[in-house]
Amino acid sequence: MQELMARQGVGNQQNPEQQKAQEDAKREANERRQMMLSQILSSKARERRFTFKEQETSQQLIGIEQSEFRIKRHTRAIFGA
């Protein structure tokens, strides 16, 4: 029984080359995962910047419309039109 367990234990051990290959594969997979996450986050950041610009533009348009309304109101008050 001990002999069988010893053989199985030895069989599960990896030689240094196998360990290095496995570590390299894990590292490369992690790098790919990080790159994909970075691309996703960059895309989301661009969307947020675009949305922010849209909101800013909408607020500017509202401000312009309010200014035009005030100008028309003052013009009517001055000229009685």
- Helix and strand numbers (H, E) in the chain are 2, 0
37 falls within a domain:
yes
61 falls within a domain:
yes
Which structure tokens are listed for 13?
């051990």
Domain count, the chain: 1
User: Could you report the per-residue pLDDT of 38-74, keeping only the tens digit for each?
Assistant: 888 888 887 887 788 888 898 899 999 999 999 988 8
**CA 25 to chain CA centroid, nearest Å:** 25
Cα–Cα distance, 55 to 52 (Å, whole number): 5
Contacts of 81 (CB under 8 A, 6+ apart): 75
Mean pLDDT of the chain: 82
Q: In terms of pTM, does the model score above 0.75?
A: no
20-24, 34-38, 39-43: least confident range: 39-43
12 falls within a domain:
no
10 falls within a domain:
no
Dihedral sign of CA atoms 55, 57, 60, 65 in order: negative
